[in-house]
Structure 1
Amino acid sequence: MKNRDVESEAAGRKSNIETDKQNISFLYLSEEDMIDAGVLNPGRCVDVMEETMGLMEDGDFLMGGPYNDAHGLMLYFPKKSPIENFPVNNARDRRFIAMPAYLGGRFHVAGEKWYGSNGNNRAIGLPRSILMMMLNDVETGKPLAYMSGNLLSSMRTGAMPGLAAKLLARNDSKVLTLVGPGVICRSSLRAIMSQRFDIDTIKIKGSSPTSANAIKMKEYIEENYPQVKNIVLCKDMEEALKDADIITEAVSCKEGEWPEYKREWLKPGALVISTSTFNMEHKSIVDLKKVIDNYGMYENYAEEDNVGYDENGDRLHTGCMGEDFVYMVQDGLIERDSLTTFGEIIRGKKPGRESDDEIILVSIEGMPTEDVAWAYECYTYALVHDIGTKLKVWDHPYAF
């Protein structure tokens, strides 16, 4: 995707979506259209995420919530209801999330990802989550595009571990560990491999060494990355973590069943990236470098969850690395300034890796600014290359 070569042309052609000031149309992009528009380009997605983190450091963005930094607004369904036919959460993960954002810079666009999820979907051959993305002109509110969001969302999620590997991994990294070998770990693999070309060993930790996802991931690596000479299906977390230069996780599990990490299993110089679930004894990570995407978002999580302490007086774990960092600040284990954001590294305000022996923990939870950025990139490419279907809202608004 050579979007930097077509940005000016795309900007000029935005006005072609409407033929006059009152006529409003938008571009519809199916999943096939999104593929044609470059949504699966991992290296370019990493570049766009780096640009996004820089803009967020500049403050040139808005998200939802009272502090403009919320992950999104979620509909939670009850376990039971007295109302006949009311949808209940009789399966894991029935929910809807609205994730709005504005992103400035060259993007200067608003958008929202609408996220529907139900754990029962897999039994009928559907992905657990079905997502759609909308972009709007920030001046008038006019719709610019409506697009399939599953590939967009998974790619931008995986691109953030790719960015972490680009900025924070040792330059001689050769061993990559994938914990939770599902869709997100696959997109993370694609992004990391686009940045770190010397990876020759990949460890896979699924629910078991013979789990369907672990075998599928092994076959995918064999087919797409012939430079990888060793693929190890690990029996436990200790085997998976030991000797790994880069560890990226995207585990889907029940609350409280998060995989446990131990300090002694991490080699000097290891980079540990969490996009989903994390469980490590707080006191063992006090002196490690900690990098996050958005501290305010984790403060929101901590305020909502307000987890307490166990019988020994230790803070309960949340399963979220960044949220644990917030509680560590509240409990006086670390200082707020000890946490580094991607944006601070990108803008040169704080250093990235400072030694080959430094162990670095990275928390990534996903934000709608990332969706807006990658959606805009695919949208502008689609405009220039005549991809997608133009749909009309109206020729002239009906006057009451």
Structure 2
Amino acid sequence: MLILGAEDVHQVLDGAEKDVLEAVRRAYVLHDQGRTALPHSVFLRFPDDRRNRIIGLPAYLGDETPVGGVKWVSSFPGNVAAGLRRASAAIIMNSMATGMPEAFVEGSVISARRTAASAALAAATLTARTPDTGVSLVGCGVINFEVLRFLRAALPDLAEVTLFDLDQDRARAFADRCGGQWPDLKVSSAGTADEALAAHRLVSLATTAATPYLTTEACRPGTLVLHLSLRDLTADSVLAAVNVVDDADHVCREATSLHLAEQRTGGRDFIQAPIGAVLADADAGRRAEDRVTVFSPFGLGVLDLAVADLVRRRAEALSLGTRLPGFLPAPD
């Protein structure tokens, strides 16, 4: 068994944004081609506790070197107040020849970066007539910092960011970190979420909201909203938008904003396209100039596998990680 910890994952992925973007793009295209297996995620919830959860995402990604496995990821928002990460995760990768587990990989770094890469890929694909030069980030946590990292890699004209978080100290700390990472980036803060939505025509929502609280009325026409946390927008806002998803069957579950919109209308006609189809058709990428476009990715397990496979292959080439002999029982 190969065990790769957070330091190993960082050593492979830091500075490899272009490679992660390509791995995520390839996974989306393979999924659109029907070359994946993606059962519904399993949500483990707890009695009298609707805030915390652990999710299991099994997946198979078929290619020249197929990959199978599962991500086990927890979300405990109360960790943040204690100075801990909200999310933690592990990824188990199985041999497609024997089915045996052969790698155990720290998953929270991979999870954050594949989420950010999917957002940046959507922003680079669902383009406007004029290039996006600024982005508004609602929620100043790990995910939106990674989103900003990948947007900077995917959108060369991006030069400005506007921040909003209910916790002003978090917003200030986020701004300081941005200044240290990208001294050339203009960073400002908004007093309200609506002010942030109006500041730029590219918006990323990455919060811990459990129920919808936000409309897109403050957005300018032609805005692309990267709806990563999936429960920020009201059903009315979803129904008024052009909607692109990663997979409709996966995203219309567990009381997401799109699930509520489906329950309201009795169907999914409000969803225009999956991102895999948009990536496969260059003419489908232009976003509407007279409406808001919303990209809502559930976060498919095949993305985790694609990036985990990138990490494992490069880690093995660099002799990173720990080999644990005797993890599995000896053959009969």
TM-score under structure 1 normalisation?
0.76
CA deviation digits over 1:224-253, x for unaligned, max 9? 222323x22111122111141210110113
Instruction: Determine helix, strand or coil for the equivalent of 1:147.
Output: strand
Q: Distance in 1 between matches of 2:55 and 2:32?
A: 25
- The Cα offsets for residues 355-393 of structure 1, whole Å up to 9 and x where unpaired, read as 655532111121211111110011011111111111113
The SS at the match of 2:324 is strand
Choose the corresponding residue for 1:202, options 161, 164, 179.
161
Cα distance between partner residues in 2 of 1:145 and 1:187: 25
1:182 aligns with 2:136: no
Structure 2 counterpart of 1:62:
37
What is the CA-CA distance between 1:262 and the residue it aligns to?
3.1
2:215 paired with 1:261: yes
- Residue 128 of structure 1: CA displacement? 2.7
Deviations 1:114-156 (A, max 9, x none): 2234345445543233211111112211222111111111111
Classify 1:234/1:371 alpha carbon distance in 2 versus 1 (closer, same or farther; 3 Å).
same
Contact 1:133 1:149 in 2 (8 A): yes
Aligned ranges 1:43-192 → 2 under 5 Å: 43-64=18-39, 70=40, 72-79=41-48, 89=49, 92-93=51-52, 95-122=53-80, 125-170=83-128, 171-192=130-151
Distance 1:252 1:144, change over 3 A: same
- Three-state SS of the structure 1 residue aligned to 2:312 is helix
Q: Do the aligned residues in 2 keep the contact of 1:274 with 1:321 (CA within 8 Å)?
A: no
Secondary structure of the residue aligned to 1:37 is: helix
Give the match's secondary structure for 2:73.
Answer: strand
Residue 281 of structure 1: how far off its partner (Å):
5.3
- The whole-number CA distance in structure 1 between the counterparts of 2:289 and 2:248 is 26
Paired residues of 1:262 and 1:281 also in contact (CA < 8 A): no
1:385 matched to 2:318: yes
Asked whether the 8 Å contact 2:78–2:86 carries over to 1, the reply is yes
Q: Do the aligned residues in 1 keep the contact of 2:45 with 2:54 (CA within 8 Å)?
A: yes
Matching residue of 1:85: none
- Secondary structure (helix, strand or coil) at the match of 2:154 reads coil
Q: Is the 8 A contact 2:151 2:158 kept in 1?
A: no
1:219 aligns with 2:155: no
Write out per-residue CA displacement over residues 148-172 of structure 1, whole angstroms, 9 at most, x where no aligned residue.
1111111111111111111013252
In the aligned structure 2, how far is the partner of 1:287 from the partner of 1:350? 23
The answer on 1:297 being equivalent to 2:256 is no
Whole-angstrom distance in 2 between the partners of 1:232 and 1:40: 25
3-state secondary structure, aligned to 1:232: strand
Give the Cα–Cα distance (whole angstroms) in 2 for the partners of residues 124 and 213 of structure 1: 13
Return the TM-score normalized by structure 2.
0.90
What is the identity, as a one-letter code, of the residue corresponding to 2:266? Q
**Deviation, structure 1 residue 346:** 1.5
Q: Secondary structure at the match of 1:173?
A: coil
Task: Give, in whole Å, the separation in 1 of the partners of 2:213 and 2:314.
Answer: 40
The answer on whether the counterparts of 1:131 and 1:150 sit within 8 Å (CA) in structure 2 is: yes
Task: Count residues in correspondence.
Answer: 330
Q: Distance in 2 between matches of 1:357 and 1:101?
A: 37
Is the contact made by 1:112 and 1:135 (CA closer than 8 Å) also made in structure 2? yes
Q: CA RMSD in A?
A: 2.5
**Aligned partners of 1:386 and 1:117: how far apart in 2?**
31
Give SS of 1:392's match.
coil
CA contact (8 A) 2:214 2:233 kept: yes
User: What is the CA–CA distance in structure 1 between the aligned matches of 2:76 and 2:219, rounded to whole Å?
Assistant: 35
Deviates more, 1:180-189 or 1:103-112: 103-112
| Shift of residue 43, structure 1, vs aligned partner | 2.7
Answering whether residue 200 of structure 2 is matched by residue 244 of structure 1, we say yes
Matched, 1:271 2:224: yes
Query: 1:366 is matched with which residue?
Result: 299
1:352 aligns with 2:285: yes
Distance 1:239 1:374 in 2: 35
Q: Structure 2: state its 5+ residue gaps.
A: none
Contact 1:166 1:195 in 2 (8 A): yes
Identical pairs, percent: 24
Q: Which has the larger radius of gyration?
A: 1
Query: Per-residue CA shift, 1:290-329, capped at 9, x if unaligned?
Result: 1110011134x1xxx5xxxxxxxxxxxx4x3432453465
Structure-1 separation of matches of 2:177 and 2:188: 13
- For the Cα contact (< 8 Å) 1:159–1:188, is it kept in 2? yes
* Alpha-carbon distance between aligned partners in 2 of 1:227 and 1:356, rounded to the nearest angstrom: 29
Unaligned ranges ≥5, structure 1: 1-25, 65-69, 80-88, 306-317
Residue deviations 1:23-56 (CA, integer Å, cap 9, x gap): xxx2111111111122663332222111111000
